[in-house]
Chain A
Amino acid sequence: MYETLKNILVETLKIAPEQVTPEATKDDLELDSLAVVELSMVLGKEHGLHISDEELQDVETVGDIVALMEERRGAGR
């Protein structure tokens, strides 16, 4: 899931790969509210992980987002 998220951040949102670490915060990556909506859309559309932008707004780090993705994948089974 971490690699999936990293790929989205790098390929779609064009964040430099070296910036993406589990500890990086949304502020570190300049993930503003628009980027969070983009991320939510890509996760749902391309990976079947339905996480709302409000949920993504409530978490801080890349690691937190990965945890949310893991949780949502589990819930989908």
Chain B
Amino acid sequence: MSGLDIAVTGLGLVTPGGVGVEASWAAVRAGRSTAAHDPALAANEVSISCRVPDFDADALLGARRAVRLDRFAQLALVAAREAVADAGFGADAWDPMRVGVVIGTASGGGETFERQHGVLVREGAAGVSPLLLPMHLPNMVAGQVAMDLGVLGPNLVVSTACASGATAIGTACDLLTAGRCDVVLAGGAEALLNPLTMAGFARMGALSTTEDPAAASRPFDAGRDGFVAGEGAAVLVLQRARDARAEGRRVRARIVGYGASADAHHITNPHPRGRGVRTALLGALVDADAAPGDVDHVNAHGTSTPLNDLVEGRLLAELLPGKPLVTSTKGVTGHLLGAAGAAEAAFSVLSVEHGLVPPTANLDTLDPRLEIDVATAEVPRALDLVLSNSFGFGGQNAVLAIAKP
């Protein structure tokens, strides 16, 4: 047992379900897909996406600040502010030297990069904005959160593709356990619904080509045919549990285990027997000093791709014989890519807090090769231990174990 005991004292969410924790959680609980045809992708062979609705960056952040931020950083700043307010921290309530920021992102400011490449092609190098790099560089998201909140501790961006958000939370737990920080804002942010990135995903064959957007993201369903890309951000305020209790803060849930691994197998395909996933999942359980039978619920990676869901589902059936109730919130939100792990960790925290497992949208017929128990409607249930799974291209895996306060 590692003694990992990290309190989640604040949450911030910006997802295709809405701006804020309340709207995002309500959408996930409702179990309806947020996917729609995306006018910005009208010329692409796949034009379905899950965008954040009604996100007015100028109103939320101020036009002067918003104009210098790529959308992925805009989303992160809004989520970070909500998380800090939720935790009850004011400007003078922490020692800024002891507050760290760890954000995961797969790509950084892809929208800015693509737009400025267009300028380069049309106008030549002299037309390229001096803000290209400050808006595009992946590290800017954590830097911007630190600037916004005036926090001076370790400031990191991690990138493990679609495991990035979960890796960031795990890394933050390590910073707290090692005593390098007293508070860490950890999460993920992604906004890659630009034509170039989406063309790349489509050319890989990774995206659903289902014509009806609402039916496209269908994790673990026999008829699944790929994921639906989404955008969003999630930030968690993390503290050592003993510190949070001593400060009298509300602890929404605790992170008690973190497992990380590599498949060392293939650039996109998961290892067919889930070699890396097994290591990460069992590592999280060892960290949590828990047995496989202790797991009540798994917020699965559950992308809705044929390969991921088959390998993940088979491994869950094999490793967790107690058959925990599985869900994939990607049926509602789509796949938030580098933000997915953080958003799903936040949903797992809310599951523990509210004692309920949210439904998996569009699961009409469970893939007959899978012997797992997947929630198709909201299920009230006391949850003592929840796993949140996240896996990334390149074979990078992260599993978080989340427990009651």
Partner of B67 from A13, A30, A33 at Cβ < 8 Å: A13
Count of B interface residues, CB-CB < 8 Å: 12
Contact for A38 among B66, B126, B129, CB less than 8 A = B129
In the bound complex, residues from chain A placing their C-beta under 8 Å from that of B126 are: 41
Q: Tell me if B64 and A16 are in contact (CB < 8 A).
A: yes
Contacts A34-B130, A34-B134, A38-B131 known; list 16 others, CB within 8 Å.
A13-B64, A13-B67, A14-B58, A14-B64, A14-B66, A14-B67, A15-B64, A30-B64, A33-B130, A37-B130, A38-B129, A38-B130, A41-B126, A41-B127, A41-B129, A45-B123
In Å, the complex CA distance between A34 and B134 comes to 10
Contact of B63 with A14 in the complex, beta carbons under 8 Å: yes
**Those of A49-63 within 8 Å (CB) of chain B:** none
- Would you list 24 pairs from A and B whose C-beta atoms are within 8 A, ordered by A residue? A13-B64, A13-B67, A14-B58, A14-B63, A14-B64, A14-B66, A14-B67, A15-B64, A16-B64, A30-B64, A33-B130, A34-B130, A34-B131, A34-B134, A37-B130, A38-B129, A38-B130, A38-B131, A41-B126, A41-B127, A41-B129, A41-B130, A45-B123, A45-B127
Q: Give every chain B residue within 8 A of A34 (Cβ-Cβ).
A: 130-131, 134
Nearest A residue to B67 via CB reads A14
Interface residues in A, total, Cβ within 8 A: 11
Within 8 A of B (CB), among A1-52: 13-16, 30, 33-34, 37-38, 41, 45
CA distance A16 to B63 in the complex (A): 9
Q: What are the residues of chain A within 8 A of B131 when measuring CB–CB?
A: 34, 38
Name the residue of chain B whose CB is nearest to the CB of A10.
B63
Residues of B close to A33: CB separation below 8 A: 130
- Give A residues with C-beta under 8 Å from B: 13-16, 30, 33-34, 37-38, 41, 45
Q: A45 vs B129: C-alpha distance in the bound complex, in angstroms?
A: 12
Contacts of A14 in B (CB 8 A): 58, 63-64, 66-67
The distance from the CB of B69 to the nearest CB of chain A, in whole angstroms, is 11
A13-B63 Cα distance, complex, nearest whole Å: 9
Nearest to B64 among chain A residues (CB) is: A14
Chain A contacts for B63, CB-based, 8 A: 14
Residues of A within 8 A of B134 (CB): 34
A13: chain B residues within 8 A (beta carbon): 64, 67
A contact residues around B64 at 8 Å (CB): 13-16, 30
Q: Mark B60-79, 1 if CB is under 8 A from A, else 0.
A: 00011011000000000000
- The 4 A-B pairs at the shortest CB distance, nearest first, are namely A14-B63, A37-B130, A14-B67, A34-B130
Q: How far is the CA of A15 from the CA of B67 in the complex (A)?
A: 10
* CA gap between A68 and B175 in the complex, in Å: 52
Please give me the residue from chain A that is nearest to B123 by CB atom: A45
CA A22 – CA B123 in complex, angstroms? 32
